[in-house]
Amino acid sequence: MTTIHAERPTAPGRHQAVPPGGARAHPVAVLAVIGAGALAVLGLWWANTPAVTGLGDALTGAGRITGLLAGYAIVVLLALMARVPALERGVGSDRLARWHAMGGRYTVGLAVAHTLLIIWGYAVTDATGLVDETITLNLSYPDVLKATVAVLLLVGVGVISARAVRPRLRYETWFHLHFYTYLAAYLAFGHQLATGAEFQDARLAQAAWYGLYLGVAGLLLWYRFLTPVRQSLKHRLRVAQVVHEGPGIFSVYVTGRRLDRLRAEPGQFFRWRFLNRHLWWSANPYSLSAAPRHDVLRITVKDLGDHSREITRLRPGTRVIAEGPYGAFTPARRKGHKVLLIAGGVGITPLRALFEAIPAAPGDLTLLYRASNPDDLAFRAELEQIAAQRGAALHYSVGPRAEIGEPFTPEVLSGLVPQLPRHDVYVCGPDGMTRDVIAALRAAGVHRRRIHHESFEF
């Protein structure tokens, strides 16, 4: 393993204080609320089902349960992705995205199960064939045809999100196709109230269902659409300059007014929409690569495709809309005094900001930076200057694995970082590297609650 060490000075340096964040929702509390809502939905079915007799009733009852849960689940999915600041800061965008992906599979399964069970149950009750019952339900019952389209849309979104399909799509294509989930929720809503036995002559249940859907719609409208435009007008964000940092790596400096009121923290990211003719239609996530200042925000982009390549060609003065800040990969996650940052490739961007600003005494902060060759080390001069100012340790692991071996093993990490189990560890890099590092940290005795990581998979 080729390692370069920055000298650890004895005198502390000054660093920028971390700005205070806003309210943070605890993940356990969020899951408890979601679970309580699911129980309430089941209670709604129970209260409106005095008895179940025969196969037809059993199938129809199961169809009603899965339908209610699917209607509830799709609202939960939309709420998780509504960009609510308390969720973003407390739970974190990375975890919310995982919950959303897992919940999406359940939602599609529930919606399909509801459709099949209802058709089967009605067919048994009416003593008709499945095809005839399907035609009757879609053509004779109010809003059922729209609900069928909604199920097909959900299945389509589920297919493009599958692990075998997702990597083949551009981020922008995958992102915009997910807006069909909104259409699916809208198309299915009328069917739920028009044909759902739980809502017939039940004004309180109808009001609660309306409140749930309209409340989440309000969150989506406010945080995903109106807030970014409002922030852009308020802070007047513009590109100041684009700076070459290394092979295919560029930093974009964005200036504006009173940017401290955004309450951004080191380690967070925004979704950036640059208003030129090539990029205005897409908002992509990029982390802050320097601690936020009252007049400047900086992101760093690697040329990995058409969108990122166009960003490197931005001209000064280009207007910017920034959604955020998002993410819980911040100093607030720290449990103790000692901090270890482990970066791989472009994963250095949020860790560069944390290296600058996370509170730590001299000798308590370490950064390990993995790169395939020396030219890929972005911010090298900046990192070494920060290390010197803060009394931090800086280690580079440079070279192909075939030559240097495994760069992150329990033995290597323990040898580089004394008292490793007492450190809070922030990890950011490619998924494969992140998995290997987390496994090595656990084997070296670091408690899982002290390991904080962020994925670049969206």
pLDDT in tens, 164-176: 776 677 776 777 7
Alpha carbons 353 and 290: distance in angstroms, whole number: 4
- Which pLDDT value is given to residue 456? 52
- Which pLDDT value is given to residue 455? 67
Span 438-447, average pLDDT: 94
pLDDT in tens, 333-363: 888 899 999 999 888 999 999 999 999 999 9
Span 69-85, average pLDDT: 93
Span 381-402, average pLDDT: 91
Q: Are 196 and 68 in contact (CB under 8 A)?
A: yes
Is pLDDT of 59 > 90?
A: yes
Alpha carbons 95 and 80: distance in angstroms, whole number: 10
Q: Are 241 and 317 in contact (CB under 8 A)?
A: no
Structure confidence at residue 7 as a pLDDT band (50, 70, 90): very low
- Which pLDDT value is given to residue 16? 43
Mean pLDDT of the chain: 88
pLDDT in tens, 234-293: 999 999 999 988 888 899 999 999 999 999 999 999 999 999 988 888 888 899 999 999
Structure confidence at residue 21 as a pLDDT band (50, 70, 90): low
- Which pLDDT value is given to residue 13? 38
CATH 2.40.50.100 given to domain 236-326? no
pLDDT in tens, 192-233: 888 877 887 788 989 999 999 999 999 999 999 899 989 888
- Which pLDDT value is given to residue 242? 94
- Asked which of 11-15, 66-70, 73-77 is least confident by mean pLDDT, the reply is 11-15
248 DSSP assignment: T
pLDDT in tens, 107-129: 999 999 999 999 999 999 999 99
Give the 3-state secondary structure percentages of the chain, helix then strand then coil, rounded to 5.
Answer: 55, 15, 30
Give domain 3-18+330-454's CATH number out of 3.40.50.80, 3.40.50.1360, 3.40.50.1000, 3.30.70.2190: 3.40.50.80
Is pLDDT of 9 > 50?
A: no
CA atoms within 13 A on the CB side of 403: 9
Is pLDDT of 64 > 70?
A: yes
Long-range (24+ apart) CB contacts under 8 A made by 202-210 are: 202/48, 205/44, 209/71
pLDDT in tens, 288-318: 999 999 999 999 998 777 778 888 889 999 9
- Which pLDDT value is given to residue 442? 95
pLDDT above 90 as % of the chain: 59
- Which pLDDT value is given to residue 431? 84
Distant-in-sequence, close-in-space partners of 452: CB < 8 Å, separation ≥ 6:
329, 333, 424, 425, 426, 427
